[in-house]
Amino acid sequence: MTAEGLFVSFEGIDGSGKSTQARRLADALRARGRDVVLTREPGGSPGAEEIRALVLQGDPDRWSAETELLLFTAARRDHLERTIRPALAAGKIVICDRFADSTRMYQGLSRGDLRAAVDILHDLMIGQEPDLTLLVDMDPIAALRRAKARATAEERFEDFGQALQDRMRAGFLALADEFAHRFRVIDGTRDEDTVAAAVLAAVDPVLAARAGAGT
Ligand code: ADP
Ligand code: TYD
């Protein structure tokens, strides 16, 4: 657990509803008077947003798998230094749309097995995990349909197709087992309000435990 503040991440395949739910959680906690920083990866600080454009736009083969891993890690380091750590130190709730678990999946699995390199770089340069990770889990076909309905210039990873989305879903569920102490799996196939209620039901006990611990 972080010394102060609370660090919550959302993870899951493209189109599963992470951004929607991250925003709704931020709104719900702010409505209760909490100080919330809603942020995202890649990005979340000016420098990291510049790196986001480098990794998500342009020719998908622009970077080798290793260079891409370094770019995502560089973006995360800047985000951590400039946005996440200062907010946590100020006692705020940080809600992050994707974090290091996305690198474990996308860079770790999608272009060969780079998971060991991902973990080494994470230990060396990041060294921070969320207090709570909400995995929005859903069927990749339905998620892909949602993602495709949303036209953006950032198609780099959404063009993976169903086979890889299937592997990503299974990989995220395996990560939820690996880091069971901080992961909660949320069924993302349900309507937005129902998912939002499930998210709050997962967050509230952690907030209550934190309050009980006197932080
Ligand atoms: P992600 O951040 O995981 O890619 P988004 O939150 O951007 O997903 O959602 C993808 C699309 O699906 C958006 O158009 C959003 O409005 C829609 N959406 C999100 N949650 C739901 C839901 N529970 N049911 C139906 N559509 C949803
Ligand atoms: P995001 O904007 O969250 O996409 P979406 O809303 O479609 O889920 O993330 C953009 C893409 O970046 C997404 O396809 C996953 C990818 N990504 C990585 O490959 N590695 C990472 O470390 C992160 C944070 C994201």
Q: Give 42-57 as a DSSP string.
A: S-SSHHHHHHHHHHHS
Give the type of residue at 195.
V
Q: Which ligand is nearest to the CA of 149?
A: 1
Three-class SS state of 214 = coil
* Residue 18: count of CB within 10 angstroms of its CB: 24
pLDDT tens profile 168-194: 999 999 999 999 999 999 999 999 999
Residues 6+ apart with CB under 8 A from 96: 7, 8, 9, 10, 22, 39, 40, 41, 44, 84, 130
Q: Residue 133: what are its φ and ψ, rounded to 5°?
A: -120, 125
Task: Name the pTM for this structure.
Answer: 0.94
Report the nearest-CA residue for atom 23 of ligand 2: 102
Q: By three-state DSSP, how is residue 38 classified?
A: strand
| Per-residue pLDDT tens over the stretch 9-45 | 999 998 999 999 999 999 999 999 999 999 999 999 9
* Centroid of ligand 2 to alpha carbon of 35 (angstroms): 25
Domains and CATH numbers, the chain: 6-213 (3.40.50.300)
Ligand 2 proximity of 106 Cβ (cutoff 6 Å):
yes
- Residue 6, strand partner residues: 93
